[in-house]
Structure 1
């Protein structure tokens, strides 16, 4: 940052004025509408991502679904037929920065723009304590998939948000970025998600003139990502969660809709925990 740019923070006359915002007319429910917008959701063939994509379609948004191993074409067709929106599926390797850029370019070509980008795809750590792990490629896979991919998504979409003058980036973090889960050992996953939360805050400040950046931190959600745990371990998770259960993936949609919509027009750099009260203890 140059000295003149630094001065502009203290004296707006020397640099760009603060971002202007004109509130939309209408009632509160209209603020939650995504009609006419385009949302791009990674990891949306199943689980949390699939619910986010459907929630956005219900709110009127066109949706670009990203998948890797499990095709999402049927999901896209379902969204189009049920909600009357445009939806299309794209295969991508989110751990490859060039592939992420390719898909972002394809989506912009097909839809004309991207208003909302949800960097959601991720994998769990299922291998036990790091001190006992000799295969360091497992650490690298977690970091590449759960952290680096979020940066690659931001790096690909950021310039487009800046050029069009608007945009919303929502990163899927985790309560594991705030607390240390017990009794299972998952230091790699925890470290990656903590970094996602701080990356979110940092980008929120950097992108303030043209885009909002926030994150959602799920707790224990009943998806395929928790299937590695046996029933006894899952019982412990439930006992440590004040609401006494895992969440249905649909219960995350409200947070993602809020952050994507004009209802959160003054929210940036925030993290919303959806964890049944786990991090409140």
Structure 2
């Protein structure tokens, strides 16, 4: 196989020009930051939401102001049959070069926070794991047939070391599965398609705005850089992995966590976690 022609150079501000990207769960938070960053890097960006149509419309306005094209899609990824329908609908708009599986279930805030452990785990498994696998396999097949493409999944930096409590058990299991799947899919789709994973640490999201002082101290202390991460930090890593600058990287999980400093030791009530 001939070596790829690398066109990106230092200082290139639009390394994704001419590419089309799709970000699932892109109507708010980290997904929104990813969509804006990809568009700023030159890509046209398809957006997706389960139900936040207002948020998706706001993101689309941002992308249009940047000059990016793309379409908007609404699908409930918890429904097993929706993956195939979703990929078919996207494919009708033309080939996708970059597919980001960002959609995940929020079981820490809102009504879902009151669900039982088993109910939360089932919801996470349906979207974060099963949908990620189904969508990746479907779009990956199309990318291989076309001869190129990039898939990026979302893991968790503490999935490999573990974290105490119900949330730690759930997210380590779910995101650990995504990270393992990423490695296997990279082997399956190589050499034509690259598959990588981002493993965020403590990122400022909706949940962090409701977090206690304990969690604020813990988030900062567990990062060598002594701060929370931002959605933009994660988005920047996504742009890098999607760009020609990362053309020799596949099957890799990239932590975006400020450098893991080690487990926090301050005691807390495990049954009273947020």
User: Per-residue CA shift, 1:54-75, capped at 9, x if unaligned?
Assistant: 0010011000011113121231
- The CA deviation at 1:45 is 0.6
Map 1:1-281; keep pairs closer than 5 Å.
19-25=1-7, 27-30=9-12, 33-71=15-53, 72-80=56-64, 82-110=65-93, 112-126=94-108, 136-182=118-164, 185-227=167-209, 229-278=211-260
Deviation per CA, 1:87-129: give whole Å up to 9, x if none.
322111122332122222222222x1100000011135549xx
2:45 and 2:70 in contact (8 A); partners too: yes
Q: Which moved more, 1:135-144 or 1:270-279?
A: 135-144
SS at match of 2:52: coil
2:267 counterpart residue number: none
Deviation at 1:179, TM superposition (A): 2.3
- Specify every segment of 5 or more residues in structure 1 that has no aligned partner in the other structure, as ranges: 1-18, 128-132
- Rounded to whole Å, the distance in 1 between the matches of 2:120 and 2:37 is 33
Q: Distance in 1 between matches of 2:117 and 2:126?
A: 15
* Structure with the greater alpha carbon radius of gyration: 1
What do you get for the CA RMSD once the two structures are aligned?
Answer: 2.3
- What's the offset of the Cα at 1:190? 0.9
Q: Unaligned regions of 5+ residues in structure 2, if any?
A: 110-114, 264-274
TM-score, with length taken from structure 1 = 0.83
Deviations along 1:131-169, whole A, 9 cap, x unmatched? xx9662322112112211210211221121111111100
Distance 2:80 2:165 in 1: 34
Give SS of 2:92's match.
helix
CA distance in 1, matches of 2:121, 2:147: 37
Distance in 2 separating the partners of 1:168 and 1:117 = 6
**Superposition TM-score, scaled by structure 2 size:** 0.85
CA contact (8 A) 1:28 1:263 kept: no
Instruction: Give how far 1:241 is off.
Output: 2.2
On the 8 A contact 1:33/1:60 being kept in 2, the answer is yes
